[in-house]
Chains A and B, each alone.
Chain A
Amino acid sequence: MAKKLRTRNHKVVLARSRGGDAGITFILVIFGIFMFLPMYYVVIQSLKPLDELWMFPPRFYVAKPTFNNFKDLFTLMSGSLVPFSRYIFNTVFTSVAGVIGNLFFSSLAAYAFAKIKFPGGKSMFKLVRTSLMFHKTVTAVTCFILMSALQIIDTYWAIIIPAWGSTLGLYLMKQFMETNVTDAVLESSRLDGASELKTFWVIAMPMVKPGWLTLIVYSFQDLWNAGASIYIHSEQLKSLNYAIQQITAGGIKRAGASAAATVIMMLVPISVFIITQSNIIETMGSSGMKD
Chain B
Amino acid sequence: MSQKTATKKAVARKDMTKWQWTWKEMKRNKVAYLMILPYMLVFTCFTVLPVVLSIFISFTDFNMLQMPNIVWLDNYIRLFLDDDIFITACKNTLIFAAIVGPVSYFMSLIIAWFINELPPKLRAIVTLIFYAPSISGQVYLVWQTLFSSDAYGWANAWMMKLGVINKEIAFFEDADWVMPLCIVVALWTSLGTSFLAFIAGLQGIDKAQFEAGAVDGIKNRWQEFWFITLPNMKPQLMFGAVMAITNSFGFGGVVTALCGFPSVDYAAHTIVHHLDDYGGQRFEIGYSSTIAVVLFAVMIGSNMLVKKVLSKVGS
| Residues of A bordering B, CB below 8 Å | 5, 7-9, 11-17, 20, 24, 27-28, 31-32, 34-36, 38-39, 41-42, 45, 53-58, 105-106, 108-109, 111-113, 116-124, 127-128, 130-143, 145-146, 150, 161-162, 164-165, 167-168, 170, 195-197, 200, 221, 224-225, 227, 230, 241, 244-245, 255, 258-259, 262, 265-266, 269-270, 273-274, 277-278, 280-285, 287-291
Contact = CB atoms under 8 A, between A and B. Distances in A.
B35 A165 contact: no
Interface string B292-311: 10011001100110010001
Contacts of B219: 15
A164 B40 CA distance: 10
Interface residues of B, number: 117
B236 A287 contact: yes
Given A35-B188, A57-B158, A139-B54, A277 B128 contact: yes
Contacts of A289: 235, 238-239, 242, 307
A196 B31 contact: yes
Given A284-B197, A285-B204, A273 B131 contact: yes
B231 interface: no
A111 B33 CA distance: 11
B128 A146 contact: no
Interface string B274-290: 01100110000100110
A139 B51 contact: yes
A128 B47 CA distance: 9
Interface of B: 1-3, 5-6, 22, 25-26, 29, 31-33, 35-36, 38-40, 42-43, 45-51, 53-54, 57, 64, 107, 110-111, 114-115, 117, 124, 126-133, 135-143, 145-146, 151-154, 157-158, 160-161, 188, 191, 193, 196-197, 199-201, 203-204, 207, 210-211, 214-215, 218-221, 224, 233-239, 242-243, 245-247, 249-250, 252-253, 272, 275-276, 279-280, 285, 288-289, 292, 295-296, 299-300, 303-304, 307, 311
Given A118-B25, A141-B279, A143-B50, A105 B135 contact: no
Given A116-B32, A134-B246, A141-B292, A280 B196 contact: yes
